[in-house]
Amino acid sequence: MRNRKAFQLLAAVLLVGAFAASARSQQPSDAHALTEAQRLVEAGRIEAQAGRYDDALRDYGEAILLAGGDAKTAATANYGLGKVYLVLQKFDRAVASFQQSVALSPQTASAYDGLGQALGAGGQYQRAAEAFKKAISLAPSAADSYYNLGVTYNKMSRYRDAELAYRRAVRLRPDYAAAYDALDVAISQSGRAGEAIAYHQKAIKINPQDASYYYNLALTYLAVGYREGAVEMQRKLGELNPQAAAHLASIIGQQ
């Protein structure tokens, strides 16, 4: 009897040892898969920056498959996919990727911001605005989300709301040239072109190499009847973008 009990005890010990060995043998494999998923996410990011979008899509897709239960890595990979699809103007796929990223990481503001960009690019402005608001609620100091919200409101012809969003963006980032330029456009569209001039000038001072700022200031000058100022902007624009300058010259000629 004692021998039988001893045998049963030995068998149990061996069985536990086998399970432990099995678990140890699986851990390196799982860790390797996770490490590979993270490596592929980084590779996808680098490839996307270099404009190698097919490679980026492939690596992000493989990362999602390897990530398994690692929600953070899978969310990051889906976010990367969404950004690439945005560049490729595949907006439905971008929306789906960002939605998956949001589902996996619901407290990540950048995922909601990306979703808003994809929805807005596809003409779904109301849904885009809600996504940007969610991003702002998670990251109140994110100037880009306020800017993107302003762009969305502008497309909805909600110029006063756009103006408020842009004002918030420049308060958060005083050197945000694009937000100053968008702010003055929104103010002009609200029928207050005279107030917009100072913001155009601010944008140009921050970034004098952006041709669009001279173009927009010229249009504002025309709106307030200052043709000489528009001609001066057209001349400066010619040094940066001759084609845009020629188009602006035709507009000035019609005034």
In tens, the pLDDT along 155-166 reads: 999 999 999 999
Average pLDDT over residues 42-59: 97
What confidence score (pLDDT) does residue 255 get? 78
pTM, 2 dp: 0.81
**Pairwise pLDDT comparison (200 vs 7), residue with the higher score:** 200
Residue 24 reports pLDDT greater than 70: no
Tokens of 164: 């408020």
What confidence score (pLDDT) does residue 3 get? 45
Banded model confidence at residue 17, pLDDT cuts 50, 70, 90: very low
Q: Pick from 169, 158, 107, 171: which is nearest to 128 by CA?
A: 158
Long-range contacts of 174-177, Cβ-Cβ distance < 8 Å, separation of 24 or more: 175/206, 176/143, 176/147, 176/206, 177/202, 177/203, 177/206, 177/207, 177/210, 177/213
Cβ-contact 63, 77 below 8 angstroms: yes
Residue 38 reports pLDDT greater than 90: yes
Show the DSSP H helices in the chain as ranges. 2-49, 53-67, 71-87, 91-104, 109-121, 125-138, 143-155, 159-172, 177-189, 193-206, 211-223, 227-240, 242-253
Q: Specify the DSSP element, H or E, that contains 51.
A: none
Average pLDDT over residues 105-114: 97
Residue 100 reports pLDDT greater than 60: yes
Long-range contacts of 9-15, Cβ-Cβ distance < 8 Å, separation of 24 or more: none
Q: What is the mean pLDDT of the chain?
A: 89
What confidence score (pLDDT) does residue 32 get? 59
Give me the amino acid identity at 113: D
What confidence score (pLDDT) does residue 68 get? 85
In tens, the pLDDT along 70-81 reads: 999 999 999 999
Contacts of 217 (CB under 8 A, 6+ apart): 184, 197, 200, 201, 204, 229, 233
In tens, the pLDDT along 192-226 reads: 999 999 999 999 999 999 999 999 999 999 999 99
What confidence score (pLDDT) does residue 243 get? 95
Average pLDDT over residues 29-58: 87
What domains are defined for the chain?
Answer: 31-130 (1.25.40.10), 141-255 (1.25.40.10)
Residue 34 reports pLDDT greater than 90: no
Banded model confidence at residue 33, pLDDT cuts 50, 70, 90: low
